[in-house]
Structure 1
Amino acid sequence: MVTSAPSAGLHAPPAPPLRHYGFLLVPGFTLIGFASAIEPLRMANRAGDAPLFRWNTISQDGAPVMASNGVPVQPDWSLDQTPVLDAVFICGSNPIPTRIDPHCLNWLRRQARLGVALGGICTGSYWLARAGLLNGYRCTLHWEDTERLLTDFPDIIVSRRIFEIDRDRYTCSGGIAPVDLMIALIGQQAGCHGIAPKVSELMVCERVRSTHDPQRIPLRQRIGTSQPKLTEVVTLMENNLEEPLTKEELAQCIQVSVRQLERLFQEHLKCTPTAYYLELRLRRARQLLLGTAQPIIDVAAACGFVSVTHFTHRYREFFGVPPGRERRATSSAP
């Protein structure tokens, strides 16, 4: 009996190469960011006809690492045991520590020399910046820590987007933003283009955000209104914290009367424009106070307060504690 040769068109396409990722867990890493990064990889393996991704966890000495929510994780390797990987992601902590161990930074530099792609999750970009591995790259991190990164590394290009992919640097903000980053990376891998939509479907992500999406929810979405004048004036406030504008100047900029301006805020934000503006300035001051080493006098000036005395009074009135005491309490916390 003679059988014909099988048609070339029936051959299954070659399986995509297995990608091996490592996740460096630093003390106080955010568990939601770590989980949001590895779950899309698991779903990709499930959606594919062959294993596409493998991942392992790393700590500095191989000992268990406590997440910021108190959950301990036993890593697979220490830094010295780690083989050459396709990519390493630093799962950053909240807050960022005042000191990062030089051994960790040297290990990251060694990974870069080996050609390993490097990523930062949540505040992980700070570790890369401290190691000098973000020079010339565009990056992002959690919006609360942007000022700290810009203050310590003013020459680094930092965006406010949920994630950035710049050549072999993959960075994202915290929360569930790693889901979007990983789905984007999955879609970029050879042979995985059709896998990314399946991952999104399995994870019940009705919309995968792109690198163009901002981290913070727009005011229009937060308050459920499409008042363009209100959105415009709040944007003006946010862009003029160091030298606050008066009510009259704000009203003039958006071409309404002061009375109309006050009515907009009362109706939609349940406060006066002055109170809203002050809260914006105080919350920015708190980010700088707890996230940077700037002197309190500089923090006050950067947020539009004419004196430290006035700033301290307003800060204590709003947050219930003087700025100096809160900074000391935060820096002394384990």
Structure 2
Amino acid sequence: MPAKDTVHVGFLIFPGFPMACLTSAIEPLRAANEIAEKTSFSWTVLSESGAPVTASANVVFQPDQALGSAESLDYLFLLSSPQGTFKNPQAGNGRLRHLVRHGTEIGAASGGIFPLAASGLLLDRTCSVHWCYKSAFQTKYPDITSNDDVIVIDRGRLTASGSSAMFDMMLRLIENTLDGTIMTEVACWFQHPLVRSEGVSQSVPAFKTDGLAKDMPEPVARAIDVFSQNLEDPLAISDVAEQVNTSPRQLERFFKQSLDQSPLQYYRTLRMNAARQMVVYSGVSLTEIAQSVGYSGTATLAKHYRTEFGLTPSEERKRVNRFRVEQTVPCRRPDCLSDGPCRCDKRVMQRASR
């Protein structure tokens, strides 16, 4: 990360982006400027066309400028939902590559990893992917290396798993640009007690409980890790028990005590959650999804999926696609510049929902 008088950071927002990622990045930079009593950081919010963009919380943001006119950015972060794409991929991806060739370090937070991967700028790099998108991302981009760390920085590519991780990324930038004292004061301003850096793993829920997987008893936590690494070719519970140095009966007892379900039930839950990521966030076929979570066909997948979520994968995909269409019908008023839904004409949304 460069040391200079003013570091200029760009944020490229796509429709449906999580606005928490944007505020978690800008607010610590603003605070650092105040504490340092100088403009150490400046920032620009961009969209593909310069038109307003609606965040996932249905809040409309007016960017400062279009991506095509952005110059002299030290950093550029893509903020998006997993479905984020350029309307004109050739021009958009070309502009990203142009900026990188001219010295911009590029990154992404949360679902922004998807359009960044689509640009080709993550090839031969390792990146951070939020756990809830991991299976979908690995299926869509099998040639890109990802891991479970909250932050990954690899040769000019800076990726953060979510909004809190984005805050940590900015703290690192503040420390490198100014110093550790100011970074610590910024963290304390926002009551951000634990400053995480590279090598720190994401917190993942122990599904159907109120705890985290890492906080489970050691044999359970280790078994969950083994399960997570073996979704495509499921292991026998006896083999997992052997890997965590316990007996199948003991492992069963540990899971019942900690999670109120058997290891086999938990393993199936992990596989169904991975399948759901791909159903919701990818366009791969249901046959491919079934195979990626250890089923030879879609019938058994559909049965277990319905048990877990109350509907089949095909029903879920239809529901999600219908919702996306209804939520992204553009306004038809000629004076509206929004790329997506707006508040100009509620009748447009009413027509879409019929």
TM-score above 0.5: yes
Aligned equivalents of 2:216 and 2:301: distance in 1? 33
Q: Which residue of 1 aligns with 2:125?
A: 137
Question: Percent of aligned pairs with the same residue?
Answer: 33
SS in 2 for 1:176: helix
Most deviating of 82-91 and 50-59: 82-91
TM-score with structure 1 length normalisation?
Answer: 0.87
Asked whether the 8 Å contact 2:32–2:40 carries over to 1, the reply is yes
Asked whether the 8 Å contact 1:124–1:141 carries over to 2, the reply is no
Q: Which residue of 1 aligns with 2:347?
A: none
Amino acid at match of 1:314: H
Distance 1:224 1:80, change over 3 A: closer
Aligned equivalents of 1:251 and 1:153: distance in 2? 32
User: Given the alignment, which residue of 253, 256, 268 partners 1:266?
Assistant: 256
> Once superposed, which parts of structure 1, at least 4 consecutive aligned residues long, lie more than 6 Å away?
none
Distance 1:32 1:218, change over 3 A: same
User: Given the alignment, which residue of 297, 316, 333 partners 1:326?
Assistant: 316
For the pair 1:213 / 2:200, whether they are aligned, the reply is yes
Q: Which residue of 2 aligns with 1:174?
A: 162
For the pair 1:203 / 2:190, whether they are aligned, the reply is yes
SS in 2 for 1:158: strand
Most deviating of 28-37 and 301-310: 301-310
SS in 2 for 1:21: strand
SS in 1 for 2:163: coil
User: Given the alignment, which residue of 69, 76, 82 partners 1:81?
Assistant: 69
CA offset digits 1:71-90 (Å, max 9, x no partner): 11111112233332222211
User: Given the alignment, which residue of 225, 231, 235 partners 1:235?
Assistant: 225
CA offset digits 1:140-196 (Å, max 9, x no partner): 23222233333333332222211122232221111311000111112122x444321
Distance 1:18 1:224, change over 3 A: closer
Measure how far apart 1:97 and its partner are.
3.8
Asked whether the 8 Å contact 1:223–1:268 carries over to 2, the reply is no
Asked whether the 8 Å contact 2:84–2:112 carries over to 1, the reply is no
Measure how far apart 1:211 and its partner are.
1.0
User: Given the alignment, which residue of 140, 159, 162 partners 1:152?
Assistant: 140
CA offset digits 1:207-259 (Å, max 9, x no partner): 10111111234769626855222222222222222232333333344444433
- Structure 1: runs of 5+ lacking an equivalent: 1-14
Aligned equivalents of 1:224 and 1:134: distance in 2? 29
Distance 1:312 1:37, change over 3 A: same
Aligned equivalents of 1:225 and 1:184: distance in 2? 27
TM-score with structure 2 length normalisation?
Answer: 0.82
Distance 1:328 1:101, change over 3 A: farther
Aligned equivalents of 1:26 and 1:177: distance in 2? 19
Distance 1:285 1:203, change over 3 A: same
Aligned equivalents of 2:228 and 2:34: distance in 1? 44
Most deviating of 25-34 and 97-106: 97-106
Most deviating of 289-298 and 97-106: 97-106
Measure how far apart 1:328 and its partner are.
2.6
Q: Which residue of 2 aligns with 1:41?
A: 29
RMSD, aligned CA: 2.4
> Could you say which structure has the larger radius of gyration?
1
Asked whether the 8 Å contact 2:204–2:213 carries over to 1, the reply is no
Q: Which residue of 2 aligns with 1:282?
A: 272
For the pair 1:222 / 2:212, whether they are aligned, the reply is yes
Distance 1:42 1:225, change over 3 A: closer
Amino acid at match of 1:134: L
Aligned equivalents of 2:109 and 2:24: distance in 1? 10
Amino acid at match of 2:143: D
User: Given the alignment, which residue of 139, 147, 150 partners 1:162?
Assistant: 150
Report the number of matched residues. Answer: 318
Most deviating of 235-244 and 208-217: 235-244
Asked whether the 8 Å contact 2:14–2:84 carries over to 1, the reply is no
Distance 1:100 1:143, change over 3 A: farther
For the pair 1:107 / 2:95, whether they are aligned, the reply is yes
Distance 1:20 1:252, change over 3 A: closer
Aligned equivalents of 1:245 and 1:239: distance in 2? 10
SS in 1 for 2:43: strand
